[in-house]
Amino acid sequence: MSNPLERYHCQIALPGFGVSSQELLNNAKVLIIGMGGLGCPSAQYLASSGIGTIGLADNDIISESNLHRQILYAPEDIGKSKVDVAAKKLQQQNPAVKIIPFNFRVTSDNVMDLISEFDLIIEGTDNFETKCLLNDACVLTGKPLVYGAIYQYEGQVSIWNVIQKDGTSSPNYRDVFPNAEESQVPNCREGGVLPTLAGIVGCMQANEAIKYFTNPENSLAGRLWMMNVLDGKTQIIKLRKTSVQITGLPQTVETITFEQLMQEKDLFEIIDVRTSKEHEEFNIGGINIAVDELQNHSDYISDCSKSIVMYCLSGKRSAEAVRKIKSIFPEKNVYSLKGGIQRTEL
């Protein structure tokens, strides 16, 4: 009969690690939210290291443009659920690990229940709305959150909300990025990214999770690790707490798919929140009101008797537009087109 610890011999042999640290990993429960460029390598290395329970949360399906950096997926997986494919491959990689797929979108309505059974959360998301939601949920429940972000040639990693020896918590996402929801940084499809950067940052996130359970005094709590893969430079910035108070969860922007919109197009008022130039080049109908001009058209919004669908290229500007409209007209049914119109242009 084989030794169940033989798989982990090389990490058990590390100075200061040993069987006791391996047992800590075996008893750990980690939830990864976002099974894209960061979630894939993070999940693979957590499974290989022997994390006992790994949850995977994502409602996206695999597309061809994912394959260059989301390394759990192959061409034959296109069109399939990310978490279902990932769960199957991770289970094959390490049958001793418990893999739990959650094939739904994480929202303000379900996030608290979702994270409640896990010891640590890893976020591999590509939008600021979900980053803020996860941060706030973890602060309210006292759970650590491993942060990762990539853009073109640069990546960042930290671990938020870790309880310190004096009982206080380390800085969280809003301490460092207080106005994150208003940011307009493009996602990977718009801004581009090297696949190797996604792998490096995802591995660093897995590394932070392993350290949290086995060697927490050396974690990135209170520090932000940054790397530029173009010139190879890395730096670590010390972070500090601010007076930002989190008392509740931000409301999740409601979305609608392109297919749903096309099937029931007559039921919606459609607004393109891109620039007039973008609208002229390509659009899927509706009127054009740039997101920065919405406040000047409140009368038009007020008079709309139908539900409203906002769209842009990727869904970022339309999500911002929905938040703006809901802040003025909270009773309005307003949706953001999921993923934007970039997929309709393929």
Residues 341 and 258: their CA atoms lie apart, in Å, by: 8
Rounded to whole angstroms, the maximal C-alpha distance in the chain is 75
Do residues 129 and 177 touch, judged by C-beta distance below 8 A?
no
Residues 35 and 198: their CA atoms lie apart, in Å, by: 12
Do residues 227 and 176 touch, judged by C-beta distance below 8 A?
no
> Does residue 10 carry a catalytic annotation?
no
Joined tokens for residue 115: 């994270």
Strands (E) located in the chain = 29-33, 53-57, 98-102, 120-123, 145-151, 154-160, 223-228, 234-238, 255-256, 268-272, 287-288, 307-311, 334-337
Joined tokens for residue 237: 């910035």
Q: Which of 40, 132, 138, 188 is catalytic?
A: 188
Residues 311 and 319: their CA atoms lie apart, in Å, by: 8
> Does residue 132 carry a catalytic annotation?
no
What H or E segment, with its residue span, contains residue 86? helix 82-93
Determine how β-strand 154-160 pairs with β-strand 145-151.
Answer: antiparallel
Q: Which of 40, 132, 138, 312 is catalytic?
A: 312
Nearest to 55 by CA among 124, 7, 108: 124
Q: Which residues contact 233 (CB under 8 A, 6 or more apart)?
A: 227
Residues 250 and 112: their CA atoms lie apart, in Å, by: 12
Joined tokens for residue 21: 């640290």
Residues that are catalytic: 188, 312
